[in-house]
């Protein structure tokens, strides 16, 4: 079993005129953070659509998308928003400038999933969007919802 760790603070910026969420906004709910980048096909083709599916499957689950750039090109906010609109993303998405939050969560790349329980403790950290990674994420969400 992985050791449980308190979730580090977020160092993020809003993509649009929305307010920047804080971890305390999610207390009392499980939170799934998705680190992604629109330049990686696995993020837009599998991870973001999968997050939308999970949002419907687990109604108490809060999802926060974090667009990060730890390598590769920088994308303008307008291009990020255009891709989010095309996918009909309705959960909050923020920017991780300088990949500080990605680093604080020791993410393995993008997409990377971090599941935080209702009291702000990291339950799981899962890299990837291949079926085996998504299956581990599913099992973790089911286990978390059964123990709530």
Cis peptide before 134 (omega within 30 of 0): no
Residue 105 lies in a domain: yes
Residue 100 lies in a domain: yes
Span 89-125, pLDDT tens digits: 999 999 997 889 999 999 989 999 999 999 999 999 9
Cα separation of 39 and 25, whole Å?
Answer: 29
Span 19-36, pLDDT tens digits: 788 999 999 999 999 999
Q: Domain count of the chain?
A: 1
Residue 3 lies in a domain: no
- Residue 124's domain spans which residues? 26-146
User: Domain holding 43: CATH number?
Assistant: 3.40.30.10
Which pLDDT band, with edges at 50, 70 and 90, does 3 fall under? low
Q: Radius of gyration (Cα) for the chain, nearest Å?
A: 14
Position 2 pLDDT exceeds 70: no
How much is the mean pLDDT over the chain? 92
């Amino acid at each position: 079993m992985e050791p449980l760790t308190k979730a580090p603070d977020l160092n993020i910026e809003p993509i649009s005129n929305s307010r920047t969420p804080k971890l305390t906004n999610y207390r009392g709910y499980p939170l799934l953070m998705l680190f992604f980048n629109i330049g990686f096909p696995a993020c837009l083709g599998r991870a973001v659509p999968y997050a939308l599916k999970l949002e419907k499957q687990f109604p108490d689950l809060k999802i926060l998308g974090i667009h990060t750039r730890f390598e590769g090109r920088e994308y303008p906010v307008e291009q990020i928003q255009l891709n989010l609109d095309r996918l009909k993303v309705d959960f909050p998405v923020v920017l991780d400038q300088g990949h500080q939050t990605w680093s604080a969560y020791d993410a393995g790349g993008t997409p990377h999933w971090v599941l935080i329980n209702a009291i702000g403790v990291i339950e799981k950290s899962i890299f990837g969007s291949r079926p085996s990674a998504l299956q581990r994420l599913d099992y973790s969400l089911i286990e978390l919802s059964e123990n709530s």
